[in-house]
Structure 1
Amino acid sequence: MVGSLKTYLEEKIAYIEQHLLPGLEREGVPATLFESMKYSLLAGGKRLRPMLVLAVLEAFGKPLERGIPYAAALEMIHTYSLIHDDLPAMDDDDLRRGKPTNHKVFGEATAILAGDALLTRAFGYIAEAYLAHPEVKAETTVKLVAELGRRAGAAGMVGGQMADIEGEGKQLSLEELEYIHLHKTGDLLIAALRGGGYLAEATPSQMDALTRYGLCIGLAFQIQDDILNVEGNAMLLGKAVGSDANRKKATYPSLLGLEASKQRLAALVAEAKGAIADAGLSHSALAPLADYVMERNK
């Protein structure tokens, strides 16, 4: 990773993280529930989804603060999905980002409720924050809620998670595997980019380019996850290596082999960068962020 991108990531992560906690409801929330929500929301991570919202606004020369409510809401939804993914009924993981998973600290019932609370808070926060924002039209707020609801729901991220569960132990086709990746991982990344586009007042052709970029890096992100689960460093990943193979999960390396997976990853990143070049946005952080998806080690 080039030094400038490393600095960019550090600065944006710090900026995002200082705006996460203020978005949570506190008054009237049971203390244990609030602590459980806070524990996972502030547990660290790449913060790629909110970062993409900010990168789009930067690319269009718009103020970053305009994207904060939507960016924080995205991270709430991503966090809820991780809390639920880690539960014994799902992936049954003990570690997340190098720390005990939420249900290991607070118990399964509280973890489920914390996930539910983060999901519902995300939509409330978008509506509340942008109703009070003078530069964001009510129509834009409705578009943000609709985009995020579709991408995070049954036809998006949750549908991808369902397909992932049903695919465990089965020999999947490449098309079936890509359905899982496009929805389980890709849809929330696309929601970040399209949400940033709405807030930046992008043209229809620019929105199409952001969507294409998101489709490509969504697949690329999951392929790199699959690769890291084979040959990554458990200390850097903050979770066990080889867990996909142990659960007989369908992955790119298991279907295509490791080298072919790496080739597919590189092709997708090149396609993503081509999409933003077509939209005149290659000067922005979106191009190096596509490289980061491929080069990250955790």
Structure 2
Amino acid sequence: MDKLASSCFVQHGAPSQSLKLYGLQRPSTSLLTSGRRSVPILRCAAAAKETSVDDINGGDGFDFHCYLSANAKAVHDALDVALWGLRCPASLSASMRHSILAGGKRIRPVLAIAACQLVGGAAAAATPVACAVEMIHTASFIHDDMPCMDDDALRRGRPSNHVVFGEATALLAGDALLALAFEHVARGSTAAGVPADRTLRAVLELGSAGGPGGIAAGQVADMQGEGDPSARLPAMKYILVHKAARLVEAAAVSGAVVGGAGDADAERVRRYAHFLGILGQVVDDVLDVTATSEQLGKTAGKDAAAGKATYPRLLGLEGARAYAGELLAKAEAELDGFDAAPGSIWLYGLSCGL
């Protein structure tokens, strides 16, 4: 999923490199034009790193890459603070920080911020939720990389957690991040002035995504299906909806909820994120076949080697690309009717970046 936004500058009429790579076609009309007004585009100069999040989020122009970079940095810094000075053994703290601060595009947490802004909330209100989403995601891939599961020695271009710290510490680091996620939402949302009922709804959403209604169920089904030549699309969809898409949904919905979204808007955001999450896995499946380990930052070809059910395997490479195009159109359709606020534009931009 971190590959979803690979260096896509959003500008009228300029197809992204990723769209070319995946074989998707951008609609002929600009994705940055709402039903009511057109949105000016701001191109970042070389000094974009010096631009503040407030400038990017509230300026008259807009640039997808700047928005992503500025908010991803803000989330990274907030995560650094959240994990600073933990009262635990140094090895556990180091193990947690090794994975949570390893980089990545931070697509899920920035999605939470964008969804919050989409419904009129402030980015600061969604930052605790954004950090919690990244903690849950990081915990899942620490466990996913372990020898008892996918047995992958590389993550985000660095040695996996268990390779550096050993299996026992890696397991406990994942557990600790999962628990810390909910503590951080409760404390951080209160400090940000988010009403308690909104915080509770966000906690419920995130808990559902991380447990038997989400990642855990998807991972078990994934392992049970390895090497099964009879695997079919319904089983594969169950795996990716639970293992991948559910947390993307939770990021967007929890961000919208803390921003004050009503039920109807929250469900529209959920549907958008659902399609986006499936699309992300289809793209990952295609890249597992077509990209190198250096490009991916993790071991390429492992899904095929393990006999996993993937979209290229069941639909063929071109069929998988065509399905990705369908998902892209469905995701974007859910944004119709929202004002062209920064959150809305970024969500459109994320779709372009796929």
> Shared fold (TM-score greater than 0.5)?
yes
Q: Partners of 1:105 and 1:120 in 2: how far apart?
A: 22
Q: Partners of 2:118 and 2:213 in 1: how far apart?
A: 29
* 1:11 and 2:18 are equivalent in the alignment: no
User: How far off is 1:25 after superposition?
Assistant: 6.3
* 1:288 and 2:349 are equivalent in the alignment: yes
Correspondent of 1:159 among 210, 213, 217: 217
CA contact (8 A) 1:59 1:285 kept: no
Superimposed CA distance per residue, residues 37-87 of structure 1 (whole angstroms, 9 cap, x where no aligned partner): 001000011211101011112223322111111110110110010100000
Corresponding position of 1:224: 283
* 1:150 and 2:211 are equivalent in the alignment: no
The total of aligned residue pairs comes to 292
User: How far off is 1:281 after superposition?
Assistant: 5.9
* 1:247 and 2:254 are equivalent in the alignment: no
CA contact (8 A) 1:41 1:76 kept: yes
Deviation >6 Å, runs of 4+: none
CA contact (8 A) 2:121 2:260 kept: no
Q: Partners of 1:27 and 1:285 in 2: how far apart?
A: 34
Q: Partners of 2:302 and 2:191 in 1: how far apart?
A: 45
Q: Give 1:66-85 correspondences, 5 Å limit.
A: 66-85=125-144
CA contact (8 A) 1:103 1:111 kept: yes
RMSD (Å), alpha carbons? 1.5
CA contact (8 A) 2:124 2:192 kept: no
Superimposed CA distance per residue, residues 17-41 of structure 1 (whole angstroms, 9 cap, x where no aligned partner): 1111212263421111000000100
TM-score by length of 1: 0.94
User: How far off is 1:197 after superposition?
Assistant: 1.2
Q: Which amino acid aligns with 2:97?
A: K
Q: Partners of 1:201 and 1:132 in 2: how far apart?
A: 16
TM-score by length of 2: 0.80
CA contact (8 A) 1:273 1:290 kept: yes
Q: Give 1:272-283 correspondences, 5 Å limit.
A: 272-280=331-339, 283=344
> CA 1:14–1:265 in structure 2 vs 1: closer, same or farther (change >3 Å)?
same
CA contact (8 A) 2:155 2:298 kept: yes
Q: Which amino acid aligns with 2:142?
A: I
Identical-residue share of aligned pairs (%): 41
Q: Which amino acid aligns with 1:2?
A: F
Q: Higher helix proportion, which one? A: 1
Structure 2 portions without partners, runs of 5+: 1-7, 11-62
Which region of structure 1 is more displaced relative to structure 2, 271-280 or 185-194?
Answer: 271-280
Question: Between Structure 1 and Structure 2, whose CA radius of gyration is higher?
Answer: 2
Structure 1 portions without partners, runs of 5+: none
* 1:45 and 2:96 are equivalent in the alignment: no
Report the secondary structure of 1:239's partner residue: coil
Corresponding position of 1:137: 195
